[in-house]
Amino acid sequence: MLVIGATGELGAEVARALAAGGVEVRAMTRRADRLHLASVDDVVRADLGDPLSLKAALEDVQRVFLVSSPVIEQVELETSAIAAAESAGVQHLVKISNLPIAGLDSGLHGNHRAIERRLAASGVASTVLQPSFFSSVLLRQIGLLRRGRLILPTGDGAIAWIDPRDIAAVAAEVLADPDPPVGVLRLTGPQSLTAAELAARIGQAVGAEITLDQPDLGKWGADLKSGGMDPWLVDSTLHLYAAVAAGALAGVSPDGPRVLGRATRPIEEWLRDELEPRLARAE
């Protein structure tokens, strides 16, 4: 089993879940010195932009987990991995994507749709996981949350936030399944929350009032760009948030519970287990 992106939050969690289930895991990373997974059987240094390194990483591999960073080159990088998997005779590939939104075909969403089309045309069987917003996105606002603020310009649009641990658990279940499901699994949390409702839940979890800030998207985007964020990623984010405000991600999917045999975790569990301890350490 090859886990591509094993130094990242999600890839590391998938590798741990597989290893805990007794699956032999090979962790792929560009920087082996950043990998801290004592449970994996093998670590290989490889790069999605280097076909020769991918060939070596995929030797004797039957199944692959694929996740990569949200960069403009993502289509080229992930399709390189798919081509290498085809050449290596991989039996099944699990890709992390995102929930499609009607009319949103550019930026990060356009990347994932293009990769999904390439994967659907491949001879390698595959499962595409399309998660909603990761709860861990909130960790990017640790500094603001310490000051009692949350920036989430999504209007009254609701999001079924999903715990990354559940995404990893679904990926591990599919990868280890003798007869894995083929096609798309949409992954969400059990409840959709507006930004105001989320701010209230965070406040309850941390025992402090959280003020919601919903700036104008145009001004907010300009601030992000001036702060050094990749303009391509900023534009992708603005388009996404506008779609969320219109209700694009309010749905709750049964796919995660069906695979896991249990409900996906409510946001309160992630806030208790992940956000609150980090806020306490930051004090």
Is residue 29 very low, low, confident or very high in pLDDT (cuts 50, 70, 90)?
Answer: confident
Q: Please state the φ and ψ torsions of residue 262, each to the nearest 5 degrees.
A: -160, 165
Q: Do residues 165 and 265 lie in contact, with contact meaning Cβ atoms separated by under 8 Å?
A: yes
CB within 8 A of 69, min separation 6: which ones?
Answer: 8
Q: Exposed, middle or buried by CB within 10 Å (0-12, 13-18, 19+), for 64?
A: buried
The confidence score (pLDDT) of residue 41 equals 75
- What is this structure's pTM? 0.94
189-215 pLDDT per residue, tens = 999 999 999 999 999 999 999 999 999
Segment 169-181 shows an average pLDDT of 97
Question: Cα torsion at 151, 240, 246, 163 (round to 10°)?
Answer: -70
Mean pLDDT score of the chain, rounded to an integer? 94
* pLDDT tens-digit readout, 86-112: 999 999 999 999 999 988 888 999 999
pLDDT of res. 26 = 93
DSSP β-bridge partners for residue 229: none
Beta bridge partners of 185: 129
Q: What percent of the chain has pLDDT over 70?
A: 96
Q: Domain spanning 2-132+163-187+251-260: which CATH class is it, in words?
A: alpha beta
Residue 29 parent element (H or E)? strand 26-29
Token duo for residue 136: 């861990």
